Amino acid sequence: MLDQAIADFVIPATGGGTFKLFAARGKSLVIYFYPKDNTPGCTTESQQFRDLYADFKKADCEVVGISRDSIESHEKFKAKFSLPFALLADSEETVCEQFGVIKLKNLYGKQVRGIERSTFVLDQNGILRGEWRSVKADGHAQEVLQFVQSLTT
């Protein structure tokens, strides 16, 4: 997938609208997939992207988060933690499948399907330039920011 164009998708977004990948062209884009709203790791990751959001904007980069949670859940999560970027609801798992982030995980001894915490960076032309899979939440946003900044220098 690296260095390839990502196929367009349209998905429900917070704020009552939809997110169209094609419409995001012209800037770099960070897409971070996370398992579930209001869980410890996902909260940490989202807060760190929030705290660095101004730096992403300075690098001409937008950030979006995707999980299988509903828009209603996303709106509450976004408001609770003052997230300045859109959260996208992939309840049908179409975008998750497109990026290959649905994995079998062990949860309390049972195998369940879930999102593997992953992040992707697309350049202004929609070409995949960076990907991280099975990431640890804490400190990840800083690593992604440094990568995005390296694309613009």
Higher pLDDT, 113 or 67: 67
* pLDDT above 70 for 90: yes
User: Cα angle at 64 between 8 and 51, to 5 degrees?
Assistant: 160
For residue 1, is it within any domain? Answer: no
For residue 42, is it within any domain? Answer: yes
For residue 21, is it within any domain? Answer: yes
**Structural domain for 18, as ranges:** 10-151
42 catalytic per annotation: yes
User: Cα angle at 126 between 121 and 144, to 5 degrees?
Assistant: 10
Q: Strands, DSSP E only, in the chain?
A: 10-12, 18-20, 28-33, 61-67, 86-89, 102-107, 110-115, 118-122, 128-133
Higher pLDDT, 108 or 14: 14
For residue 106, is it within any domain? Answer: yes
For residue 2, is it within any domain? Answer: no
The catalytically annotated residue of 6, 11, 31, 42 is 42
Record the pTM. Answer: 0.95
Query: How remote is the C-alpha of 84 from its chain's centroid?
Result: 13
* pLDDT above 70 for 153: no
What is the number of structural domains in the chain? 1
What CATH number has the domain bearing residue 62? Answer: 3.40.30.10
